[in-house]
Chain A
Amino acid sequence: MAAFDVDYLEVIKEKVLKILVPVKRVVDYNVKVRVKADGSNVDLANVKMSMNPFDEIAIEEAVRLKEAGIASEVVAVSAGLANCQETLRTAMAIGADRGILIQSDVDLQPLAVAKLLQAVCEKEQPQVVICGKQAIDDDANQTGQMLAGLMNWPQATFASKVVVAGQQATVTREIDGGLETIEIALPAVLTADLRLNEPRYATLPNIMKAKRKPLETTNPETLGVDVTPRLKTLKVAEPPKRSAGIKVADAADLVMKLKTEAKVI
């Protein structure tokens, strides 16, 4: 009996999860972005940057799984300029155990990021990757899905509830018609939706501890990934200014105008 207990504990120990959470440094959600004068991109000079809010939710979920004794380690990974370190420190202040910075000054597009994460996954062998469902700068909503494809892992996107048990995850997804609950086998990629959790405020002692947590720096070349952009941005423009409203005489007039002027019905 005693021997069985030990074996059982060994099994548990082996089975505890490592979770990888990719975090992106983006324009802070409070900032009103401006388009550069030449229309090439949005202006990022002297603009407040912070962690993509959906990635913060992803980190929070991973840390909660660790606090619940389900996960053994949470690794945050970020790709981009050297100051993505700050974003990784934020992730570590919330509770990630260590960080990996893939440093690059190339404009990293979703496929490139997915390939970089694939390389990191092959090295780190996590059982779960939790991404934010999308980044609030380009709203691409692609990286998690592409990573799952590249790894040939199952994916559960737009998660609003995650239950991990053994080698399975039960994930409630936010879909157009309501909620959908699916079971997937691990390893897998999850992407976090807004209602998955409410991220905590980092505590001062944890902010200070985050400074001492290990942060490894690598780059696309070392990981053997070609990150050359494949998409070309033709033009970035501000949305058209809202024009003044008009008063309609009655419902029929409204329907007529929606058909003939607005052309939406």
Chain B
Amino acid sequence: MSEYIAPIRDMQFVLKELAGLDQVVQLPGCEEATPDLVDAVLEEAAKFAEEVLSPLNIPGDLEGAKWHNKAVTMPAGFKEAYQLFAESGWTALACEPEWGGQGLPKLVAAAVSEMWKSANHSFSLCPLLTNGAIEALVLTGSDKLKKDYLEKMVSGVWTGTMNLTEPNAGSDLAAVRTRAEPQADGSYKILGQKIFITYGDHDMAENIVHLVLARTPNAPEGVKGISLFVVPKFMVNDDGSLGERNDAYCVSIEHKLGIHASPTAIMAFGDHGGAVGYLVGEENRGLEYMFIMMNAARFGVGLEGVAACERSYQRARDYARERIQCTDIGVRGGPKVAIIAHPDVRRMLMTMRAHAEATRALAYVVAAAHDAAIHHPDAAERKRNQAFVDLMIGVVKGWSTESGVSMASMGIQVHGGMGYIEETGAAQHLRDAQISTIYEGTTAIQANDVIGRKIAREGGATLQALIATMRTFDAELAGQAGDHFLAIRKRLTDGVAALAEAGDWVVATYRDDVRAASAGSVPFLTLLGIVAGGWQMARAALIAQSRIDDGDADPFYAAKVVTARFYADHILSRARGLASSITDGAIGVMALPEDMF
């Protein structure tokens, strides 16, 4: 059975040599993240992921979270693992020191949380949601709310949730109907039902802090009338101790395709007279605040895609090394060989490896930019980095998670019939990965946000700047001799040209024919992901080659160059086709009348 081993070598490479940890550590507030500390953190996190979280992955899937009498019981071992996780300080890694956090950069947090996700997707969702809730409270909560809740959430003693979705308000949050009635003491009475609430109830922590979207009386219609409330599972006394049970109950959990150990709750607020809630920030600005959580969570979900690529790759590789089947191709009567010798198995493994490395590189680079967007002393640099992050978060989310699903599927294919059997564990990766393209905004939601708010609205300025950066990089690439680099450069040049062409088309078309632009939105997101990933793989190859030229014999570097070459020929080469689908394909998407479906 393949056990998860954290890909520390690639993580270190991306952190230190590609994403610029040396620059992040110079940022005010990020000084702690020196290379030796980061190594120590990665090593210990890897140990925790491999020894504590990974062994619970399959048992958690088999047992699943259980609902009984308005409460959820987690699968065996999860409570103990969570408590050890919190006691070990992992929940506090990137949180503000003011509330007990360690204040490590998002770049470091990205690598560490990738490990949690690869080791145990279901488990990792609890800290992911808690972190989103912490970010929203830090940025928008009143002093009292911060004082009452943040420290316990940062230390992991309490967990957090995001309560957005209702039966009729999924992707369309304008339809939220949960009510919030103001009370004489300044609190609100919350009444309504929420669905799809990840970790809405569980037995791993003593309290759960729900952040709930609801409407106050007389609030304007639509998204401009939604407010955000803190609704604790147990009331919190002034001295910080827990008080009465609040009227917020999990009335059922969902039966799902995957992430069986992650309870997906249906929450009833106010079935017994009303749940006590406290307004976060100002009335009617709830959606804006929720997007703070949402953006953090979207990036986190993007990392689930990276994690799925990596985990599926490791399992498929381990199987391909062990499974003996057929002689080497072209050899008659020779010895039977492990299937890793067969060219198409190799192609699949390289595809998986290349996706894991490219999605990781892009996600960490975006994380480093996020650190700069928050901490850089120069306002212009903060703004430039923020624009890049805003453009790319949807790509990290959409492209990485779609890759995660495809690679998990390919991982099954490498196993052949055995992959379709649950016992090998490959099928669970696919079942678990599939949710990542859906929650926190489906791929189409990300793609429409990217082409609309992030590109068309600003006339494509940030995209143009990104394309210009890639073209400047081409000059560096041109200086590197060798067949691999010739191939990489050719594909990257083509890819960037295709991206520029499709980008111009999107900007022009979004204004005149938004339906046509939208029909091409997901292919565009894929194109942007593939080209940006190719740009990072080409950078990685160039850095690796310079290490080789300096006499470094670490085989990691040679493997990086070859993987980048594979990526260029097999993945980046799709850019041209995608551009055609975007610019020419809208007619085919929309021409068939509805009644012909």
Which A residues have a C-beta under 8 Å from some C-beta of B?
30, 45-46, 48, 50, 85-86, 89-90, 93, 201-208, 210-211
Contacts and interface: CB of A to CB of B under 8 A. Distances in A.
Q: Closest 8 interchain pairs by CB?
A: A204-B89, A46-B554, A203-B88, A203-B89, A205-B89, A202-B44, A207-B40, A201-B88
A30 B555 CA distance: 19
A93 B43 CA distance: 12
A89 B32 CA distance: 15
Given A30-B5, A86-B39, A46 B553 contact: yes
Contacts of A45: 553-554
A50 B43 contact: yes
B36 interface: yes
B48 interface: yes
B42 to A, nearest CB: 10
Nearest to A206: B89
Interface in B355-398: none
Nearest to B45: A204
A201 B93 contact: no
B5 A207 contact: no
A207 B52 CA distance: 18
A93 B44 contact: yes
The residue in B36, B40, B92, B93 that gathers the most chain A C-beta atoms within 10 A of its C-beta is: B40
Given A45-B553, A46-B554, A204 B41 contact: yes
B44 A207 contact: yes
B37 interface: yes
Contacts of A208: 32, 37, 102
A111 B288 CA distance: 68
B6 to A, nearest CB: 11
A23 to B, nearest CB: 14
B40 A93 contact: yes
Contacts of B555: 46
Contacts of B87: 203
B37 A207 contact: yes
Given A45-B553, A205-B89, 14 more contacts: A30-B5, A46-B555, A46-B556, A48-B8, A86-B36, A201-B47, A204-B41, A204-B90, A204-B92, A207-B37, A207-B41, A208-B102, A211-B34, A211-B37
B84 interface: yes
Nearest to B103: A208
B40 A201 contact: no
Interface in B81-100: 84, 87-90, 92-93
Contacts of B89: 203-206
A207 B39 CA distance: 10
Interface residues on B, range: 20 to 34
B19 to A, nearest CB: 21
Interface in B12-49: 32, 34, 36-37, 39-41, 43-44, 47-48
Contacts of A207: 37, 40-41, 44
B32 A201 contact: no
A90 B88 contact: no
B131 to A, nearest CB: 14
Instruction: Give the secondary structure class of B's interface.
Output: helix
B54 to A, nearest CB: 13
B333 to A, nearest CB: 20
Nearest to B90: A204
Contact of B40 (A30, A89, A205): A89
Contacts of B41: 204, 207
A215 B566 CA distance: 45
A90 B553 contact: no
B85 to A, nearest CB: 9
A121 to B, nearest CB: 28
B512 to A, nearest CB: 53
B555 to A, nearest CB: 7
Contacts of B39: 86
B67 to A, nearest CB: 31
Contacts of B44: 93, 201-202, 204, 207
20 contacts: A30-B5, A45-B554, A46-B556, A48-B8, A85-B36, A86-B36, A86-B40, A201-B47, A201-B52, A201-B84, A201-B88, A202-B88, A203-B87, A203-B88, A203-B89, A204-B93, A206-B89, A207-B44, A208-B102, A211-B34
A160 to B, nearest CB: 22
B179 to A, nearest CB: 41
B43 A210 contact: no
B45 to A, nearest CB: 8
Interface in B545-588: 553-556
A93 B84 CA distance: 16
A215 to B, nearest CB: 11
Nearest to B34: A211
A65 to B, nearest CB: 21
Nearest to A48: B8
Contacts of B92: 204-205
A89 B553 CA distance: 27
A202 B37 CA distance: 13
A204 B90 CA distance: 6
B287 to A, nearest CB: 34
A211 B35 CA distance: 11
A204 B40 CA distance: 9
A246 B516 CA distance: 71
A167 B90 CA distance: 40
Contacts of A202: 44, 88
Interface in B47-93: 47-48, 52, 84, 87-90, 92-93
A210 B87 CA distance: 17
The residue in A45, A50, A85, A201 that gathers the most chain B C-beta atoms within 10 A of its C-beta is: A201
The residue in A48, A90, A202 that gathers the most chain B C-beta atoms within 10 A of its C-beta is: A202
Contacts of A203: 87-89
Contacts of A86: 36, 39-40
A206 B554 CA distance: 31
A203 B93 CA distance: 11
Nearest to B557: A46
A45 B557 CA distance: 13
B112 to A, nearest CB: 9
A247 to B, nearest CB: 22
A228 B48 CA distance: 40
Nearest to A92: B40
A184 to B, nearest CB: 34
B561 to A, nearest CB: 16
A242 to B, nearest CB: 16
Contacts of A210: 40
Interface in B455-509: none
B483 to A, nearest CB: 25
Contact of B102 (A46, A90, A93, A204): A204
Contacts of A48: 8
B551 to A, nearest CB: 12
A4 B555 CA distance: 68
B16 to A, nearest CB: 15
A45 B553 CA distance: 8
A81 B102 CA distance: 31
B84 to A, nearest CB: 7
